[in-house]
Chains A and B, each alone.
Chain A
Amino acid sequence: MLLFAASRLLRAALTILFVMTFAFVVLRLSGDPALLIMSVDAPPEAIKAFRQAWGLDQPIWDQYLSYIAHAFTGDFGKSMRDGRPAMDLVMERVPATLAITLPALALKIGLGIPAGIYAALHRNSFADRLTMAVSVAGFTMPSFVLALLLVLVFAVNLGWLPASGADSPSHAILPIITLGAAGAAIMARFTRSAMLEVLGQPYIRAASAKGVEWRRVISHHALPNAAIPTVTIIGFMIGSLVAGAVVVESVFAWPGVGRLLVSAVANRDLAVVQAILMVIAAWMVMANFTVDIAYGWLDPRVRGAAAGH
């Protein structure tokens, strides 16, 4: 188990390093920030001074090494716009993002899993078909379309909820629903198929043959097995929590990390963009790591394979 954790940890570190490198290279190749941040008609001396100040005149290899070296000490550079440490700018936006993504995650799990289980247990019933139809609609609809639809109905027509901004808790409701609905649909679908797969396994029939009552067959024999593939999708959802909020935060003018990313990209604020990508990558890696650990915990076969050498 310890070896298992250690190998995953190493892989996690390498993944983060890879993302940092990739982001660095792509951002440096995609245009000159000096020209974008200074106005085009700025005097050449000013542009030169700007490049010197931000180290943009160094060879890209030196820039990269110094970036990585600083990153290891927790220094992710300063925003080229307002000169504050980039990571601080990002971190102060994190609570706002979590304020809509965590309730959305709860919605996905709390709605999706029971709906999926119910649909599987009542396969081909009206409720099953309805759940599946809603879930197809839920995950084929792009989130900005759903967002606009919700705004039209609940903000414009009914006037119950604000359309955008973050001035009161009620401002969070529409973003949460937008984020949660599609995820709940995916979750329901996934849970249903995981459950159906498990219900068709010989050990389920064998448990019934043993005399175990059906409710207990479901709760003690089917669910623990169906949980194994379901954890993958939960991990994926947790991993994409921050990245998934970009569109919705923009549509609802919600002041989170996602919206900061959009404006930082538009402004070519390299350090901020890199810091955000770094946070997103670290978050995803951590989610994957947690999923791997959860796998080992839920599935003795994985645990055995990891420890068995």
Chain B
Amino acid sequence: MGVPLVEIAGLTVDFGNDWRSRAVDGVDLAIAPGEALGVVGESGSGKSVTWLAALGLLPARARVGGSVRLEGQQLVGAPARLLESVRGKRIAMIFQDPSSCLNPVHRIGRQLGEALKLHRGLSGAAGEAETLRLLDQVGIADAKRRLSDYPHQLSGGLNQRVMIAMALAGQPDLLVADEPTTALDATIQAQILALLAGIRRDTGMALVLISHDLGVVAENVSRVAVMYAGRLVEEGLGQDLFDAPRHPYTQGLLAALPTLTGPRRRLAAIPGTVPEPGKAPAGCSFAPRCPLAEPRCMSEPPASRRVGLLHRAACHLQIEPGFSAGALPRAAE
């Protein structure tokens, strides 16, 4: 990997006062320019909070530690002015529920225009022309009429296209898509993902695709990071990670997924649940659910180790690739 575009190192986020209730606990992650990275993990594993923290979008009571560098520039604790110049312009972010992410009292055209004015200084006729071009780029037919629509007049899929158009308005170097299709039905989901892929091809923009859904991630990114209870447990190129998972959690996830091309499933198929914040063991947070856990797993946090080329896992055990997948108890349907 060349010079990273974004480099996250030792990122921590606390909402409470207890260090064990960390929402994000020492995440290291780098994204190269133009790269597509998938982030997977169960609900509450800290996928969203990691990226909200990177952009300074968490509420004031959240305490963020560690570092997030954008081409060397530190974003953690950066002044509001700097963060505002990064958001939308260098790193754009879109969210899960597009219909509630658009302002209900402003017309689509106005919301897009605001981003264009902000990032490219376009307004008036030039702004409108570019707005139409963006709507066209995200595959919205009849763009001219849509400009005067309000978000409630559009479907979820159309609203997500508008959100994407708005994210593209600043011509960002990185788009963080936080479960962009979770709220949409399957056909629309495929269309949106294809749209994102097409945009990446055309613009060379980097993408972080956050998802519950391993299937979605497998098809759309080259590298995958797996999060569990606020930590990064495994990270590697898609093929390596899917063919030879090293962390028992990843192995469990894959075992619970029949085939990558078959019907998609939620990642809830591993017995047990994610420890509640504050209830995680001192050691590996997956230990209570891990079929291979040893005594030291409960007490010593495992460090992230290299297990292959560009492949890292945080587990004490020297696990053979794919070893424990079959050994895991069968998922309850």
Contacts and interface: CB of A to CB of B under 8 A. Distances in A.
Interface stretch (A2-10, A47-55, A210-218, A282-290): A210-218
A298 interface: yes
B206 interface: no
Given A210-B115, A213-B80, A301 B152 contact: yes
A203 B108 CA distance: 13
Nearest to B119: A211
Contact of B153 (A205, A208, A304): A304
User: DSSP class of A's interface residues: helix, strand, loop or mixed?
Assistant: helix
Contact of A206 (B102, B105, B170): B102
Interface in A231-259: none
Given A205-B57, A206-B95, A304-B153, A211 B104 contact: no
Contacts of B80: 213-214
A211 B87 contact: yes
Contact of A203 (B102, B118, B119): B102
A228 B150 CA distance: 16
B114 interface: yes
A40 interface: no
Contacts of A140: none
A203 B152 contact: no
Instruction: Count chain B CB atoms within 10 A of each CB in A201, A206, A213 and give the residue with the most.
Output: A206
Interface string A5-29: 0000000000000000000000000
Contact of A211 (B89, B106, B150, B152): B89
B88 interface: yes
Interface in B113-145: 114-115, 118-119
Interface string B267-281: 000000000000000
A284 B149 CA distance: 34
B197 to A, nearest CB: 22
Contacts of B97: 202
Contacts of A209: 55, 57, 87-88, 92-93, 95
B114 A212 contact: yes
A197 interface: no
B170 A211 contact: yes
Contact of A300 (B105, B114, B167): B105
A239 B240 CA distance: 69
A228 B88 CA distance: 28
Contact of B101 (A206, A211, A213, A214): A206
Select the residue from B94, B95, B101 with max chain A CB neighbours within 10 A. B101
A211 B114 CA distance: 10
A224 B105 contact: yes
A93 interface: no
B84 interface: yes
B150 A301 contact: yes
B163 interface: yes
A171 interface: no
A221 B103 contact: yes
A213 B152 contact: no
B87 A300 contact: no
A164 interface: no
- Most chain B CB neighbours (cut-off 10 Å) among A207, A213, A299: A207
B155 interface: no
Interface in A170-220: 201-203, 205-214, 220
Given A202-B97, A203-B100, A206-B102, A304 B84 contact: no
A207 B88 CA distance: 9
Contact of A208 (B57, B102, B150): B57
B82 to A, nearest CB: 11
Interface string A24-65: 000000000000000000000000000000000000000000
Top-7 shortest CB links A-B: A211-B88, A206-B101, A211-B87, A300-B150, A202-B100, A209-B93, A210-B88
8 contacts: A201-B100, A206-B94, A210-B88, A211-B84, A213-B80, A299-B105, A304-B152, A304-B153
Interface of A: 201-203, 205-214, 220-221, 224-225, 228, 298-301, 304
Given A206-B102, A214-B84, 11 more contacts: A205-B52, A206-B101, A208-B87, A210-B87, A211-B86, A211-B89, A211-B119, A213-B80, A221-B103, A224-B103, A301-B150
